[in-house]
Chains A and B, each alone.
Chain A
Amino acid sequence: MQATSEMADTFTGKAELVSAKVSRIKTLAEAFAYTVALCDGKEMCPLLVSGCELNLSDPSLQLCREKTGKIIAAPDLTPEQGAELRALCAARGMELIDSGLRRHLGGLDIGFTVCDLGIAETGTLVLNSASEEVRLATMVSETHVAVLPLSKLRATSYEAEPELLAFMADTPGYLAFITGASRTADIERVLALGVHGPLELHILLWEDN
């Protein structure tokens, strides 16, 4: 079913409610440019927001130090797409990786993925995460940039159900619903973002048709 613009508006509203940043793009190239600019704009001390500036225990500080330059992980791009993004990264002195994410568990600046489905009623992204690299890109990075092709947007979880079932039939499988950034309210019920996963979620709605 074609995503109506109303559906896209609902999605945007719901995603923004859970502090995702939503933008519209027309081409994937725009998404690459957005991501590189975002990474470029991040603080000089790359892990500033992620807690490395705080009074950590010695082993945790050690882990923070493992990360040096700026790194973008984009594990699910085609070789051509990867080459395009890599060129942009190289021009700004950033590293682009598409595998071996386990070597970067201390932290990644940005994880970049293209999502498989979206659910408008809750502002949810659905990402096939059967690849461990895709999983890690969306878990370990400080910022997750997710492209959602509008053709993949569904109104409700029930409407997405046949497609969800199709993903799940392809075992082994790991399918992620992602709605906003990682959050907790475990201390005095005060909302805090980025407890384990990304501190920020940027969603790029791709007008792909």
Chain B
Amino acid sequence: MQDADTLKEYRKQCQQAMDDEFLRQAMDSFAKAYRSNRVKAFSGMNEKELIAEIAAAKDAAIVRLPELYEEFRVKAERAGVHVHLARTAAEANEIICLIAKEHGCRRIVKSKSMTAEETMLNHRLEADGLTVTETDLGEWIIQLRHEGPSHMVMPAIHLSRYQVAELFTDVTRKQQDSDIEKLVKVARRELRAKYIEADMGISGANFAVVETGGIGIVTNEGNARLVTTLPRVHVALCGVDKLTPTLHDALRIIKALPRNATGQAITSYVTWITGANACAAGPQGKKEYHIVFLDNGRLALARDPDFRQILRCVRCGACANVCPVYRLVGGHRMGHIYIGAIGLLLTYFFHGRDKAKNLIQNCINCGACKEVCAAGIDLPGLIKKVHARIQNEEGHPLPSVLLAKVMSNRKLFHTLLKTARWGQKPVKDGSTGYLRHLPMIFGREQNFRALPVVADQAFRDEWPAIRPQVDQPRYRVALFSGCVQDFVYPEQLKAGVKVMSGHGVAMEYPMGQSCCGLPLVMMGESKAARDVAEQNVKAMDPARCDYIVTLCASCASHLKHAYPKMLAGDPSLAEAARAFAAKIIDFSSFVSEVLGVDRNDFRPQAGQAGTAYHSPCHLCRGLGVTEAPRRLLREAGLNYVPSAEEDVCCGFGGTFSMKFPEESRELLKKKLDNVAASGAGELVTDCPGCVMQLRGGAEMRGDALRVRHIAEALAERKK
């Protein structure tokens, strides 16, 4: 639930969640177990192809929802079903209350439905004096505790067996053991009695299949079967986005949904109901059966080309399962009703800007959700877009406006960075290269990692002097530095130049280049982000080089994937942006795969303490590069030692670490703990932002860990 007014308050709530020891442990062990279960579940299958098929079929259906609804309605009505379309959540609740009233229903049993959570149906039913019992075990538990779900598939994941035992002791008025098997059996017997009394059953639906006029419900417990069978009235509440033309569509989704949700090949039950079935308790032995379709913004969303892919979601919950932020703060903070990456989005569209405005910022843009989404939704991209939209609607906060102003004017931005050199004099710690104490603009909570100073000389100013002369080049390369390497860590880029030298690479450093614009995207400044994209595309003429090499993973993935999209609408730039993006390559891939750098490039050196590797989000997921850097470490004789969760975010996320320092700190801690456990004496990575975070964190902790860009580690050993 989102009830924080300000970002500050929201951060405080997140911090409280992080202080909940049980929650943290539960989330950690779940995150780890989920990863391996999912891999197992999809082994031997072409997962990417399946996801692409699901996405394509969903896309085809989304643009036809109104006609699909009509077709479905006609078919279902012919089989004795009453079909309703509710425009809003309140209207859906009203319809269901009316059905209850008309048929004299008093007691309701419900099976799990996120859609009913969305409309807060129970509140409305109870206001009418109806008794409602949730029968899904997790839902029942949270209902008894008057809470919302903390996960879309496992709603009570935040609770311990002891809390459940206590709760069941209250409910049964008998002392209960904390043994899980026993608690489950208690629920079995207690809920059995509820089914028997009930005169109305409410279920959700995973599919409304147009060709059959029937619904499909996917469950493990089997409660939906009892809910749809025993009471004389059945109401299925279902988002209009669940309409799908064929049974084949549904069978296809079933191949991915349970695997992605819980690592199961299929759930224990899939129930297909077509028409009003026999029901001994019903009038004339027939079930009184209603399907209520909920619009609540979905049909408008379906008409919005920028956001309609959100409706592909099959509610598997995987985007939460892999999200490092969800893992830290849990579902009550990483969502309003819907949870995880999709929750951030749906909150805005279903529950409004007010509920979404803080939440939407709590995404570090690591891309883990996009990688596993059963429907191939570009979740992080859409999250940033919604953030930008909210800012356009609400007005941009001052820091964001200033950032946009400064960054879209390269000269001003670079002058300010250079001036910062003078400004930092009094706070600079001469010997270490860190700021001795933080300037006033940073709060105390930023103090979990040491921050670097701006370099004495920017890379761009050194370039004319260090530019290698190459007579007969094999490759023409334009270097894209990104701000951090240009102004803070020019030595990384110089090391990169050294590693590439001797391979016939003619290098250029186009001076018109500026920030890649990702920080602007993260701040919701889409207009300024587009403007710097234009500047960069114009500054780096793709016709004059074979490759554009960057040593910053975040820049690389942003330049490659976001630029063509951002500039697609401008006919004078679209083609150039595509050509530009096609030439972008990250340093490790270029060096390893294009130049073929191998052990012959390096001096043999004995006794190297282990080198751990941090796999930057934007390299491993953003660009799909996982092998090249590890191969280079081995070729250079750096004694690469694997550590746990190498591809989990370090917590930097650019401006995210400024906005959510508490979360950034925790992610950093996990990362450094894992590296410490590997016994490595050095940690390398492919992104200056990650270096800043990791090196600053190691420094603050006093870890004897050397953190460098991979280019520096390679350059040191280059012959």
Interface residues of A (CB under 8 A from B): 14, 17-18, 49-52, 54-60, 63-64, 102, 105-106, 121-124, 130-132, 135-136, 139, 157-158, 161, 164-165, 168-169, 171-190, 192, 194-198
Are B271 and A173 in contact, with the CB atoms below 8 A?
A: no
Q: Which of B274-282, B595-603, B615-623 contacts A (4 or more CB under 8 A)?
A: B274-282
Are A186 and B138 in contact, with the CB atoms below 8 A?
A: yes
Is B99 part of the binding interface, using a Cβ–Cβ cutoff of 8 Å?
Answer: no
Q: Within 8 Å CB of B254, what residues of A?
A: 157
User: CB-nearest residue of chain A relative to B224?
Assistant: A196
- Out of B185, B247, B267, name the residue touching A179 (CB < 8 Å): B267
Are B277 and A172 in contact, with the CB atoms below 8 A?
A: yes
Are A139 and B26 in contact, with the CB atoms below 8 A?
A: no
Cα–Cα, bound, A154→B491 (Å): 63
Known: A172-B80, A174-B277, A187-B180. A182 touches B271 (CB 8 A): no
- Out of B180, B184, B190, B272, name the residue touching A174 (CB < 8 Å): B272
B716: min CB distance to chain A, Å: 46
Known: A60-B192, A165-B247, A189-B30. A135 touches B272 (CB 8 A): no
User: CB-nearest residue of chain B relative to A18?
Assistant: B268
Q: Contact string, B132-163, partner A, CB cutoff 8 A, digits 1/0?
A: 00011110010000000000001111011100
Cα–Cα, bound, A168→B223 (Å): 22
Q: Within 8 Å CB of A176, what residues of B?
A: 225, 269-272
Are B161 and A158 in contact, with the CB atoms below 8 A?
A: no
Interface residues of B (CB under 8 A from A): 26, 30, 33, 78-80, 135-138, 141, 154-157, 159-161, 164, 171-176, 180-193, 195-196, 209, 211-214, 220-223, 225-226, 228-230, 247-248, 251, 254-255, 262, 264-281
User: CB-nearest residue of chain A relative to B141?
Assistant: A186
Q: Within 8 Å CB of A196, what residues of B?
A: 135, 188, 191-192, 221-223, 225-226
Cα–Cα, bound, A39→B470 (Å): 86
Q: Within 8 Å CB of B265, what residues of A?
A: 14, 17, 121-123, 179
- Out of A55, A64, A136, name the residue touching B229 (CB < 8 Å): A136
Cα–Cα, bound, A182→B192 (Å): 14
7 additional contacts (CB under 8 A) given A122-B266, A184-B221, A185-B262: A59-B193, A157-B254, A177-B271, A180-B268, A186-B154, A187-B161, A197-B221
Are A139 and B184 in contact, with the CB atoms below 8 A?
A: no
Q: Within 8 Å CB of A124, what residues of B?
A: 266
B252: min CB distance to chain A, Å: 8
Scoring B79, B173, B270 by chain A CB atoms within 10 A of each residue's CB, the highest score goes to: B270
Are A186 and B225 in contact, with the CB atoms below 8 A?
A: no
- Out of B164, B267, B272, name the residue touching A168 (CB < 8 Å): B272
Are B176 and A55 in contact, with the CB atoms below 8 A?
A: yes
A114: min CB distance to chain B, Å: 18
Are B30 and A168 in contact, with the CB atoms below 8 A?
A: no
Q: Within 8 Å CB of A194, what residues of B?
A: 184-185, 188
- Out of B174, B189, B220, B230, name the residue touching A183 (CB < 8 Å): B220
- Out of A60, A164, A172, A192, name the residue touching B181 (CB < 8 Å): A192
Are B247 and A105 in contact, with the CB atoms below 8 A?
A: no
B210: min CB distance to chain A, Å: 12
Known: A158-B248, A196-B191. A132 touches B221 (CB 8 A): no
Cα–Cα, bound, A171→B75 (Å): 10
Q: Within 8 Å CB of B270, what residues of A?
A: 176-177
Q: Within 8 Å CB of B182, what residues of A?
A: 51, 54
Known: A55-B172, A173-B214, A195-B222. A168 touches B274 (CB 8 A): yes
Cα–Cα, bound, A195→B221 (Å): 6
Question: Can you list 6 A-B contacts with CB-CB less than 8 angstroms, sorted by A residue number?
Answer: A51-B189, A63-B189, A105-B195, A157-B251, A173-B273, A187-B161
User: CB-nearest residue of chain B relative to A162?
Assistant: B247
- Out of A17, A157, A195, A198, name the residue touching B137 (CB < 8 Å): A195
Cα–Cα, bound, A184→B140 (Å): 13
Are B247 and A182 in contact, with the CB atoms below 8 A?
A: no
- Out of B156, B174, B176, name the residue touching A186 (CB < 8 Å): B156
Cα–Cα, bound, A173→B136 (Å): 24
Cα–Cα, bound, A204→B181 (Å): 27
User: CB-nearest residue of chain B relative to A136?
Assistant: B229
Known: A161-B248, A177-B266, A195-B222. A189 touches B272 (CB 8 A): no
B651: min CB distance to chain A, Å: 25
User: CB-nearest residue of chain B relative to A47?
Assistant: B189
Are B174 and A195 in contact, with the CB atoms below 8 A?
A: no
Q: Within 8 Å CB of B30, what residues of A?
A: 189
Q: Within 8 Å CB of B214, what residues of A?
A: 168, 171, 173
Scoring B157, B212, B248, B254 by chain A CB atoms within 10 A of each residue's CB, the highest score goes to: B212
Known: A158-B248, A172-B79, A172-B80. A51 touches B188 (CB 8 A): yes
- Out of A14, A106, A132, name the residue touching B278 (CB < 8 Å): A132
B151: min CB distance to chain A, Å: 10
- Out of B185, B187, B191, B281, name the residue touching A102 (CB < 8 Å): B281
User: CB-nearest residue of chain A relative to B157?
Assistant: A189
- Out of B175, B220, B226, B255, name the residue touching A184 (CB < 8 Å): B220
Scoring A105, A169, A192 by chain B CB atoms within 10 A of each residue's CB, the highest score goes to: A192
A138: min CB distance to chain B, Å: 8
Cα–Cα, bound, A121→B265 (Å): 9
Are B276 and A172 in contact, with the CB atoms below 8 A?
A: yes
Are B174 and A55 in contact, with the CB atoms below 8 A?
A: yes
B692: min CB distance to chain A, Å: 36
Cα–Cα, bound, A91→B266 (Å): 40
Are B272 and A54 in contact, with the CB atoms below 8 A?
A: no
- Smallest CB-CB A-B distances: 10 pairs: A172-B275, A51-B185, A197-B222, A55-B174, A186-B138, A171-B275, A177-B270, A171-B79, A182-B222, A192-B184
